[in-house]
Amino acid sequence: MRCKTRHWLGVAIAIVALDQLTKYLAVLWLDYGDPVAIVSGLNFTLVYNTGAAFSILSEASGWQRWLFAGVALTVIVVITLWLRQLGEQQQWLPLALTLILGGAVGNFWDRVALGYVVDFIQIYYENWYWPTFNVADSAISVGAVMLLLSGWITRPRGAETE
């Protein structure tokens, strides 16, 4: 395994550790469903998400746990293999993949071990609330945006006409 690959996998492990620590603290310190105001527009509210992003399929009978775990495991394997193929000089793409990898592992762990994902970060404006999320979701979201931008940012000059 390349030295850089180990570096990126180490970063992913750090993301998983931060995600799991914050989820542990949320479960320890927060009462389920009871918002704790942090600053205007931000609460910590403990919820358990049996669905996917935005609680998609959260009302299903339980089969979704294994579907989402399988999807996450596939993403974990594909990204790990992809990271191994990247050149040593690349930084942006491996960071994007690492963020997605760390987030996927963090939520995969919850789904397999608990049957749901622990969410606790709640952003709102007046009466509009964004779905509650966690550190893993944040890492996945930032990594996905970076991945989408990576082709645009790293495209050689003149490639847009090809």
The residues annotated with a catalytic role in the active site are 119, 137
Buried b (16+ CB within 10 A) or exposed e, 84-95: eebeeeeeebbb
Give all strands (DSSP E) within the chain, no chain letters: 36-39, 42-49, 117-125, 128-129
Helix (H, G, I), strand (E, B) or coil at 122: strand
- Do the beta carbons of residue 13 and residue 102 sit within 8 Å? yes
Q: How far apart are CA 152 and CA 71, in angstroms?
A: 27
